[in-house]
Amino acid sequence: MSQSESVTAAVLVIGDEILSGRTQDTNTNYIAKFLGALGIDLREARVVPDVEEEIVAALNALRARFTYVFTTGGIGPTHDDITADAVARAFGVGIDYHPEALAMLAARFANPADFNEMRKRMARIPFTAALVKNSASVAPGFHIGNVFVMAGVPMIMRAMLEDIAPTLKRGAIVHSATVQARIAEGRIAAGLAAIQRDFPELAIGSYPFYREDGFGVQLVARGRDAAKVETAAGAIEMLVRAEGAEPTRV
Amino acid sequence: MSQSESVTAAVLVIGDEILSGRTQDTNTNYIAKFLGALGIDLREARVVPDVEEEIVAALNALRARFTYVFTTGGIGPTHDDITADAVARAFGVGIDYHPEALAMLAARFANPADFNEMRKRMARIPFTAALVKNSASVAPGFHIGNVFVMAGVPMIMRAMLEDIAPTLKRGAIVHSATVQARIAEGRIAAGLAAIQRDFPELAIGSYPFYREDGFGVQLVARGRDAAKVETAAGAIEMLVRAEGAEPTRV
């Protein structure tokens, strides 16, 4: 697969609760791994507050640059759920109750009075968007242009990704191999740089760690050519041994 | 404190390992809470890969908009650590070995031969920047303009924040109160919107959860006026009770 065919993505996390520190975002990490398994490269992630202009600006910046944008958060029934309106504005389209979404939500309530105005907000979908259904909630996400709008609740977001996955273009899978060693990264940094030069089509990363049982480093080779990843990992193991440490694959 | 005096911040996480899903970022959440305790509002977070142009573009966008920018990652000794060069380019300044940083690092190695060229990379600091020392590592971060450049390893990043904190402008602390209830958010959404209208200076958020022991919602009032936060939380408790559920403070 040539560079020009690579499939890329960005994540846009929408929510004051992430920026206040109240909530640890885990959706970005989940989406990164999920897309990775489809050969789609996550290239950027942003977190913006529940402010319409901020959402619009970030969405327009990201959707112009990447194959896909995945948003999380802000599609519930409460006043602070403003993602659908912001997405409509970003695309310059109107927004109204979507008949199918209304019907899906209405079916959830035995007593029609329980399907109140605020709950109906969850059926407001930008014009031209298609619904993203899911197994975890009757409230849908939606898909407009190259943007997928998903819930912030991880369980629901994950179910939506399952609905979305079959519709996505896929790229070649990125393979990776990780060599761990109880060695300071400064000891093997020059050798590692040489390995990076030998394998320009791979990304060679070095990630030190500090744990109760001591420090060390994880050396990661990533790339679309599995054989080259394996060859580079072998070279990293030799480098570690040459410095007197024992490499382990993790 | 008037709106114009608010102290704002952005986080820029630099690292392929976050975007590949290999590593769950926890630094943003830690920084959010750390700054919150100083009355500094985290307004945006971005994750970019180890690509110089991406780092430069994101840094220049963020430093123009917020009081402070905090970066994490990319200041180690290996070839993939390119943050210092990117920051120098973003500021349009040169970069070279910083005498004090060199001395700090050199003192760490009993055998001068161990202070190799790659390790010396950690002493390359953009011109006009000041060092950010820390108790966890002899390798410094640095501070240039309104940007603080920190390590990606959480233990070291946290130590650097301690060094930085006394130098930061502080804002009025944001207080928050959280009311939890075993109720669908759609039931209290209209009442919650009314409370938001009654307290325009507060941010009223609604965060549903789904756990093994059942679902519910956390309703959060946040703002700089502690008395108003408490009054709003009381109104939220009344709203929950009026819908037949029992509120608890969490």
Answer for the pair A217, A208: CB distance below 8 angstroms, yes or no.
yes
Residues B81 and B139 in one domain: yes
Beta-strand relationship, A7-14 and A68-72: parallel
Q: Specify the pLDDT at position B199.
A: 98
Residues A196 and A152 in one domain: no
CATH number at residue B211: 3.30.70.600
> Which of B167, B197, B213 is the last residue before a domain boundary?
B167
Q: Specify the pLDDT at position B42.
A: 98
Which of A20, A54, A187 comes nearest B222 by C-beta? A20
Q: Specify the pLDDT at position B1.
A: 43
Answer for the pair A214, A182: CB distance below 8 angstroms, yes or no.
yes
Cβ contact, residue pair B206, A18, below 8 Å: no
Q: Specify the pLDDT at position B246.
A: 97
pLDDT interval class at B120 (50, 70, 90): very high
Tokens matching residue B154 = 């959480």
Instruction: For chain A of 250 residues, list the mean pLDDT of each consecutive stretch of 10.
Output: 74 97 98 98 98 98 98 97 98 98 95 95 98 93 98 96 97 96 95 98 95 92 97 98 96
Q: Specify the pLDDT at position A212.
A: 85
Residues A152 and A114 in one domain: yes
Task: Count CB-CB contacts under 10 A for residue B56.
Answer: 18
pLDDT for B89 beyond 50 = yes
Q: How far apart (Å, rounded) are the C-alpha atoms in residues A18 and B32?
A: 8
Tokens matching residue A146 = 């190259």
The conformational region for residue B214 under phi > 0 = left, psi -120 to 50 = alpha, else beta, is left
Q: Lowest mean pLDDT of A209-218, B153-162, B214-223, name the range.
A: A209-218
Output DSSP code: residue A201.
Answer: T
Contact residues, chain B, for A222 at CB < 8 Å: 16, 20
pLDDT interval class at B4 (50, 70, 90): very low
Contact residues, chain A, for B43 at CB < 8 Å: 19, 49
ipTM for the assembly: 0.95
Q: Specify the pLDDT at position A106.
A: 95
**Interface residue of B79, B105, B158 to substitute, partner A, most A CBs within 10 Å:** B79
Q: Specify the pLDDT at position A91.
A: 98
* Number of domains forming the structure of chain A: 2
Residues B109 and B128 in one domain: yes
Residues A145 and A231 in one domain: no
Q: How far apart (Å, rounded) are the C-alpha atoms in residues A157 and A155?
A: 6
The boundaries of the domain holding residue B182 are: 175-249
> Which of B120, B140, B167 is the last residue before a domain boundary?
B167
CA–CA min distance B157, chain A (Å): 12
* Rounded average pLDDT over B167-172: 97
Q: How far apart (Å, rounded) are the C-alpha atoms in residues A122 and A153?
A: 14
The length of chain B is 250
Segment holding B102, helix H or strand E: helix B99-106
> Which of B120, B146, B167 is the last residue before a domain boundary?
B167
Answer for the pair A235, A228: CB distance below 8 angstroms, yes or no.
no
Which of A49, A78, A174 comes nearest B185 by C-beta? A78
Contact residues, chain A, for B23 at CB < 8 Å: 29, 207
pLDDT interval class at B229 (50, 70, 90): very high
Residues A14 and A117 in one domain: yes
Beta-strand relationship, A7-14 and A40-48: parallel
Among B16, B13, B49, B50, CA closest to B29: B13
Cβ contact, residue pair A78, B54, below 8 Å: no
Q: Give the rounded distance of the alpha carbon of B84 from its chain centre.
A: 19
Q: Specify the pLDDT at position B222.
A: 97
Q: Specify the pLDDT at position A1.
A: 43
Q: SS3 for B141?
A: strand
Q: How far apart (Å, rounded) are the C-alpha atoms in residues B223 and B200?
A: 10
CA–CA min distance A45, chain B (Å): 5
Residues 6+ apart with CB under 8 A from B243: B183, B187, B188, B191
pLDDT in tens, A49-68: 999 999 999 999 999 999 99
